[in-house]
Amino acid sequence: MADVLIIGDGPAGLSAALFLTKNGQNVTVFGQDGTPMHKAMLYNYLGIPEITGSEFQRVGRAQVQNLGGKIEDVEVTNAEKTDGGFAVTTADGGRREGKYLILATGTNTKLAEDLSLAKENKGIVADGDGRTSVEGLFAVGWNTRLIRTQAIISAGQGAATALEILSLEAGEDFHDFDVVE
């Protein structure tokens, strides 16, 4: 069983996956690299003067995988709450279980509806740490702010949710601070 299942492989899902895998969580990301980032040319991502969305995605996916995160090239067709956490079903008939579930599905909010999450014009209702009304179920990125989206905002939301999960696991506030050797 994975610690964290992440549905969606855009900046939000990959950022959450990066923080979680880097800090020892067993993470599976589901996605087929269908993000609109492939249309974008970024000049507004702090710290990176310019990069194509495709290169951003390539580097992000590699960062996650190099740290041991799994990215499964498959669509998730169903997600449900279980006694121990959550289970997802994939288009190829597979089933995976995890303690936490993060929805990072971009403009696709169908799974959130299936899970009976509240939605408003802005998108799925979630707090600043991505917490929804269901314990252990988080929503991050474009699906929580359908009217305004930027890659750096989605990545930041993914990071905030990862820190929330890491804090829950640690039983105290968690920071991912590294220092110069």
Ligand X SMILES: Cc1cc2nc3c(=O)[nH]c(=O)nc-3n(C[C@H](O)[C@H](O)[C@H](O)COP(=O)(O)OP(=O)(O)OC[C@H]3O[C@@H](n4cnc5c(N)ncnc54)[C@H](O)[C@@H]3O)c2cc1C
The residues binding ligand X (CB under 6 A) are 7-13, 30-32, 34-37, 39-42, 44, 75-76, 104-106, 108, 111, 141-142, 149-152, 154
- Identity of the residue, 91 or 170, whose beta carbon is nearer to ligand X in the bound complex: 91
Tell me how far apart the alpha carbons of residues 171 and 16 are, in angstroms, rounded to a whole number.
Answer: 19
Neighbours of 167 (CB within 10 A): 14
Closer to ligand X by CB, 25 or 56: give it: 56
Taking the complex as a whole, how short is the minimal distance between the CB of residue 153 and ligand X, in angstroms? 7
Comparing CB distances to ligand X, the nearer of 76 and 165 is: 76
Q: Given the complex with ligand X, which of 52 and 169 has the nearer CB atom?
A: 52
The residues near 35 (Cβ < 8 Å, ≥ 6 apart) are 9, 10, 11, 53, 57, 106
Smallest separation (angstroms) from ligand X to the CB of 74: 7
Report, in Å, the least distance between residue 118 CB and ligand X.
Answer: 19
H helices within 25-74, ranges in order?
Answer: 53-66
Amino acid at 176: D
CA dist list (Å): 112 to 2, 96, 109, 178: 20, 17, 5, 35
Report the nearest approach of ligand X to the CB of residue 180 (Å): 29
